[in-house]
Amino acid sequence: MSTSVAPASLAAEVHAGPGAWARLRGSSPWWLLPATVVTVLGGFTVYSLWTAFLSGGVNQSGPYLSPFYSPLLWTTGPVSPALWVLGSPLLFRATCYYYRKAYYRSFFWDPPSCAIGEMRHRAYRGENAFPLFLNNLHRYFFYLVLIVTGFLWYDVYLAFFDPAGGHVQMGIGTGIMLANVILLSGYTFGCHSLRHLAGGNLDCYSTARFGTARLRAWRWVTVLNERHPLWAWASMFSVVITDVYIHLLHVGAFADPHIVF
């Protein structure tokens, strides 16, 4: 008779059971998650439109520029400058593989959740027909967002090294802007399209051109990609928090606490 003993790590995994998040989800009604997604994504969309077009001009205070207005192009004219830059980040999010799952379930109930049957009984067309096949443009929005992300890092540089004031500063505003661009970069560089570009499209790294470098890049992207939903939500909140903070400075609600070097 032979007996087998599970390795300690495997045994721990077997007996650990579902995590706290999984237990919470398991005990919540199925509609809670879709309702939350609708509320948060809907709120974000409404807020974006308000701050870009209805809040009364460029949201800027001292060296701080709102991410909704960066890069600042064509500041004169009847149209909000946010119009020229908002398109690519919003379309990038709207076509993101993770957000697609979230809003197909929550807004279209197609289906609304795991283990819940289809509520709309139509022939399944996937993403092959208009307008959903436009989601395939995601990789091109990625290239545009790379440029925008570069400008956001430049804005953080300007926030720290205030060129108008001629000094280096560090405070709440610089911290918020830095945290925002780190979260946005984590979201952007964990993109599924980038993972595919880096090495996901290869069958064999050892025979591919630059195979070792691509394997290394693929591993780095994978680290971010494994937490892509978390980066997606965290960066969305950080964009709003950064914009609200700069709005408050802009209207003089308080002064930005910072140290000048």
Residues 119-158, mask of contacts with ligand FES (x by CB under 6 A): -------------------x--------------------
Q: Which two tokens stand for residue 155?
A: 């804005």
Min separation Cβ 133 and ligand FES, Å: 16
Give the DSSP per-residue string, the chain: -------HHHHHHHHH-S-HHHHHHHHS-TTHHHHHHHHHHHHHHHHHHIIIIISSS--EETTEE-GGG-S----SSSS-THHHHHHHHHHHHHT-HHHHHHHHHHTS-SSSSTT---SS-----TTSSTTGGGGGGHHHHHHHHHHHHHHHHHHHHHHHS-TTTTS-EEEHHHHHHHHHHHHHHHHHTT-HHHHIIIIIT-S-TTTSTTHHHHHHHHHHHHHHHTTHHHHHHHHHHHHHHHHHHHHHHHTTSSPPPEEE-
Decide if residue 98 touches ligand FES (CB under 6 A). yes
List the interface residues with ligand FES, window 221-260 (CB under 6 A): 228
What is the token pair recorded at 18?
Answer: 């579902």
191 contacts ligand FES (rule: CB under 6 A): yes
Considering the complex, what minimum distance in angstroms separates the CB of residue 70 from ligand FES? 19
97 is a contact residue toward ligand FES (CB under 6 A): yes
Stretch that binds ligand FES, among 15-23, 81-89, 189-197, 245-253 (CB under 6 A): 189-197
Contact 96, 232 (CB under 8 A): yes
- If one asks whether residue 184 binds ligand FES (CB under 6 A), the answer comes out as no
Q: Which residues pair with 170 in a beta bridge?
A: 259
Which of 44, 53, 192, 211 binds ligand FES (CB under 6 A)? It is 192
Q: Which of 96, 159, 184, 249 binds ligand FES (CB under 6 A)?
A: 96
Shortest distance (Å) from residue 132 CB to ligand FES: 15
Q: State the nearest-atom distance from the C-beta of 24 to ligand FES, in Å.
A: 24
Residue count at the site for ligand FES (CB under 6 A)?
A: 8
CA angle at residue 127 from 124 to 133, to 5 degrees? Answer: 145
Choice between 64 and 141, CB closer to ligand FES: 141
Q: Does 104 bind ligand FES (CB under 6 A)?
A: no
Applying CB under 6 A, which of residues 88, 193, 238, 242 lies at the interface with ligand FES? 193
Binding region for ligand FES (CB under 6 A) out of 120-128, 159-167, 170-178, 185-193? 185-193
Name the site residues for ligand FES (rule: CB under 6 A): 96-98, 138, 191-193, 228
